[in-house]
A and B are shown apart, each in its own frame.
Chain A
Amino acid sequence: MDPNQAKLLKEVMAADFTLIDLNLYLNTHPYDQNTIMLFNNCAQRAKMLRNQYEKLYGPLTVQNSPYKCPWQWINSPWPWE
């Protein structure tokens, strides 16, 4: 994977992980308004980074991507490679 792609992917991973962790916290603190605002801001940032990554390097999820032929979803590298 080229270094620019790896760098942007790492940013997407970090942004998404922030959401995973805030999600768990909010499940047990559903009235924490400040954290809900933080979640919303982080979600927006994560979405932006994801769009940027997918435009340059192909789909991260199979849904919501416009595809051309041949179907790029199966392209390497897979995450375990």
Chain B
Amino acid sequence: MWVYEKKLEYPVRIKTPNPKLAKYIISQYGGPDGELAASLRYLSQRFSMPTNEAKGILNDIGTEELAHLEMVGTIVYQLTRGVPADVLERAGLGAYYTDHDHAVYPMGASGTPFTAAYIQSKGDPIADLHEDLAAEQKARATYENLINLADDPDVIDPLRFLREREVVHFQRFGEALRIVQDKLAEKPFYVKKPDCMNPVYKR
């Protein structure tokens, strides 16, 4: 089960609102390579992992992604806090304001609401871990795009932290994949009872 800690994993203190940037960054909240998809993906896949190392890494990265979801939500919130409707509209957030006002809603940069179709949970640990490696790279690339679009150091700093975590997660998933592959490649070891122990032959 989970317990909430009343702090962010890494500080977010944005002094100047910037709704245009919020429109893009929300993609890491509820978009195709976002933190919500990442967390749900790992926390769903962990059940069918064959080794304790893989169960642990999916459990704990899936948990950390929830902390990242909170950070991204905080960035979006602080970038739009107190911004009037007409300014939001000029920043391209008129449709968003219509449906969600100043709330934080899980969707991608293009406005598509979050969907579980972004993730897979295949029951095949090799397939699942390869998806996870790809997911971390896609999220890293998205954070790099966002850093290119941002000009405020208060925004760039937490984005850089989140980008680095994607790199670390990729490394750990690679190690988990190797451990799982080694385990699956082990020669199966059978213990067969001698026939004389079998009641059918005993008579």
Q: Which residue numbers of A lie inside 8 Å of B, CB to CB?
A: 61-62, 73-76, 78-80
Q: Are B47 and A74 in touch, CB under 8 angstroms?
A: no
User: Which 6 pairs of residues, A with B, have the shortest CB-CB distance?
Assistant: A74-B56, A74-B52, A78-B55, A80-B47, A76-B52, A74-B53
Q: Do A74 and B55 have beta carbons less than 8 Å apart?
A: yes
CB distance from B51 to the nearest CB of A (A): 9
B74 adjacent to chain A (CB < 8 Å)? no
Identify the closest chain A residue to B49 (Cβ): A78
Contact with A along B26-65 (1 / 0, CB 8 A): 0000000000000000000011000011011001100000
A76 nearest CB neighbor, chain B only: B52
Tell me, yes or no, whether B3 is within 8 Å of chain A by CB.
yes
Query: How many residues of B are in contact with the other chain, CB < 8 A?
Result: 10
Interface of A, helix, strand, loop or mixed by DSSP: loop
- Chain B residue nearest to A61 in the complex (CB): B3
Give the Cβ gap from B58 to chain A, nearest Cβ, in Å: 10
Which residues of chain A have C-beta atoms less than 8 A from B56's C-beta? 73-74
Contact partners of A61 in chain B: CB under 8 A: 3
Bound Cα distance from A74 to B56, whole angstroms: 5
B52 near A75: Cβ-Cβ < 8 Å: yes
15 A–B contacts from the bound complex (CB under 8 Å) = A61-B3, A62-B60, A73-B56, A74-B52, A74-B53, A74-B55, A74-B56, A75-B52, A76-B52, A78-B46, A78-B52, A78-B55, A78-B59, A79-B1, A80-B47
Complexed CA–CA distance, A58 and B59 (Å):
17
Closest to A75 in B: B52
A78 to B60, CA, bound (A): 12
